[in-house]
A and B are shown apart, each in its own frame.
Chain A
Amino acid sequence: MKRRVAIVGSGNIGTDLLYKVRRSASLEAAWMVGIDEASDGLARARSLGVKTTAAGIDGLLPHLQRDEIAIVFDATSAYAHQQNWRKLAEHDVRVVDLTPAAIGPYCIPPVNLRAHLDSGVKNVNMVTCGGQATVPMVAAVSRVQPLDYAEIVATVASKSAGPGTRANIDEFTRTTADAVARLGGAKKGKAIIILNPAEPPLIMRDTIHCLVAGEPDRAAITESVKQMVREVQTYVPGYTLKNGPIFDGRRVTTFVEVMGLGDYLPPYAGNLDIMTAAALRTGEVWAERL
């Protein structure tokens, strides 16, 4: 039986997620929640037979129980998520937070999703696009050898960086650096983001540098990285290892490309796609446990 979900936020991210949920074998999109009746996302949801409300979270709350909503995806904003979570916390729903609010713990599916589900947490945060794309690579190295330091460079098409990201780019660098260190498993983390305006837009690229403690075990790290790439590919098929891992003294570097599925967002916006894909994955694995 499919578990029923609601998507709060009818912008680019929420709408892309809607298309992904529609393909899911274990989740069913029951509600799409927006604040603008005329938004493209709500119109698309209606045309797909999904119930909609333009009254925000308050339009959804009365239906949570009756429509047996098990999981709520929040693709609004950090501020709106704080309000939404206050209202959702008392209900029997699990919340996947795609905003930068980070009320719940960071969740990078191949790294710590199962641990979160075992802990009984009810709200998880999907970090940042850069975090979703790079933390698995850091973790792939750190599970072989301890890391003194990890650093990532995320390069995304200018067109795929919305006004929210642009207005608070420091939030990206801080949150990603924090996740790279804490979830990736490094003593210290750093994140750099580059917005490139090239036309046609470039596909998201990420470079992941790690400094291992001691001499790197090349064979084991290479195998671990390749295995992790395959694991990410199970939910982001366009996640590819372009080069590496390369070894230079204690430095281990991998180069990845993230091409999106092109559901609602164009394929170059792999940075947005990996957020919605990771959120879907989180919802699906959670649903299995319920």
Chain B
Amino acid sequence: MTSVILHDMSLRDGMHPKRHQITIEQMVAVSTALDRAGVPLIEVSHGDGLGGASINYGFPLHSDEELLRAVVPKMTRAKISALLLPGIGTVDDLRMAHDCGVGTVRVATHCTEADVAAQHLGLARKLGLDTVGFLMMAHMIEPARLVEQAKLMESYGANCVYCTDSAGHMLPDDVRARIGALRGALKPETQIGFHGHHNLGMGIANSLAAIECGAARIDASAAGLGAGAGNTPLEVFVAVCDRMKIETGVDLYGVMDVAEDLIVPMMDQPVRIDRDALVLGWAGVYSSFLLFAQRAGERYGVSPRDILVEMGKRKTIGGQEDLIEDVAIDLARGARGIS
């Protein structure tokens, strides 16, 4: 029987639709309920990873350290993971997370830039952590190039490498091509993971395609709480896995109740495929840009859809939230006919 490790994103990727304002109480309530339901891995960090607290990405209600210190001791079975993007966070943040007792560190880079993660992956491995490389916006390169980058991460110490569909742009065949290539090229003991976004409604289908091609870890989020149209909805995926006889070890009613009773009431707006989230998926744009484009659109009187399409044309990658306001100003100026 196929089995898969599910990794909940609602308290990290879910920070994006919550503008990083999840409270300690909410963190503890959700994580303990997920733990009770048997979810083996739960990510807790600023949406943009450790050290993401900034004007550029948003200041959180609580520091990463406060969140981790509140959540980690409450876990009975689940391990807590933290995300780190080199260029935003540093090894100091990684050491802090280790000190807080996280079991997993995921080091994320753009899919072509794995070599900026050497130091961080190396340290995570040295500290004895479950060490994961996270190649973002993986739709932007061909499978063969993704393999090269994944091998770099493996060589730095990653025991698991993710194909990350940050834009929710991939179709199941795109996932099969990438996961299949990674599975064929990495060491047998190196796990492969898939992280989806639901912008084209493909979260479930893509995750199944990933499992079919050898992925051992799947990211999903209770009630889909995540950037853009959210991540693969955890409770739906657990139900589908149950019907397909894929072992998750997660209690279906438990995660249904987390989604319905805890996450949905937390939402500031419905996390769904609205036209802007759809544009992210269709045009291949980083999912976290959604709310920034909507805010800039309102402020400068331009369509968020036009901003997001322009962000795609400018070949932006994860983390370039700063360019959204710049683009909005340019579009507003263009609309006024002033050069």
Contacts and interface: CB of A to CB of B under 8 A. Distances in A.
A207 B110 contact: no
A151 B87 contact: no
Contact of A195 (B56, B87, B119, B322): B87
Contacts of A151: 54-56
Interface string B232-243: 000000000000
Interface in A244-286: 246, 248, 251, 253, 255
Interface residues of B, number: 29
B86 A169 contact: yes
Contacts of B113: 158, 166, 195, 197
Contacts of B119: 167-170
Nearest to A163: B115
Interface stretch (A37-45, A66-74, A186-194): A186-194
A173 B90 contact: yes
A68 B86 CA distance: 44
B52 to A, nearest CB: 9
A30 interface: no
A186 B92 CA distance: 22
A91 interface: no
B115 A166 contact: yes
A242 B329 CA distance: 10
A172 to B, nearest CB: 8
B116 interface: yes
Nearest to B94: A170
B55 A211 contact: yes
A158 B90 CA distance: 19
A169 B315 contact: no
A79 B330 CA distance: 44
Contacts of B247: none
B317 A246 contact: no
B63 interface: no
Nearest to B333: A243
A251 to B, nearest CB: 6
Contacts of A153: 56, 319-320, 322
Contacts of A173: 87-88, 90
A196 B330 contact: no
A44 to B, nearest CB: 28
A198 B329 contact: no
Interface residues of A, number: 34
Interface string B299-337: 100000000000000111101101101100110000000
A155 to B, nearest CB: 6
Nearest to B300: A246
Contacts of B326: 207, 242-243, 255
Q: Which residue of A172, A197, A253 has the most chain B CB atoms within 10 A of its CB atom?
A: A197
A158 B320 contact: no
Nearest to A165: B116
B112 interface: yes
A173 B56 CA distance: 15
A197 B110 contact: yes
A207 B112 contact: no
A209 B56 contact: yes
Given A151-B56, A167-B118, A173-B87, A243 B330 contact: yes
Contacts of B88: 173, 192
Contacts of B317: 194, 196-197
Contacts of B299: 248
A251 B329 contact: no
Interface in A208-259: 209, 211, 242-243, 246, 248, 251, 253, 255
Contacts of A209: 55-56
B115 A167 contact: yes
A170 B56 contact: no
Q: Which residue of B87, B119, B299, B325 has the most chain A CB atoms within 10 A of its CB atom?
A: B87
A129 to B, nearest CB: 13
B195 to A, nearest CB: 20
B200 interface: no
Contacts of A169: 86-87, 116, 119
Contacts of A170: 86, 90-92, 119
B220 to A, nearest CB: 27
Interface string A139-175: 0000000000101010100100001001111101110
Nearest to A172: B87
A201 to B, nearest CB: 10
B136 to A, nearest CB: 12
Q: Which residue of A158, A163, A196 has the most chain B CB atoms within 10 A of its CB atom?
A: A196
13 contacts: A163-B115, A169-B119, A170-B90, A174-B90, A192-B54, A193-B87, A195-B87, A195-B113, A196-B316, A198-B314, A207-B323, A211-B55, A253-B55
7 tightest A-B CB contacts, nearest first: A198-B315, A207-B322, A170-B90, A209-B55, A197-B112, A153-B322, A193-B87
Given A167-B119, A194-B87, 12 more contacts: A149-B55, A153-B322, A155-B323, A170-B86, A172-B87, A173-B87, A173-B90, A196-B320, A197-B110, A198-B315, A211-B55, A253-B55
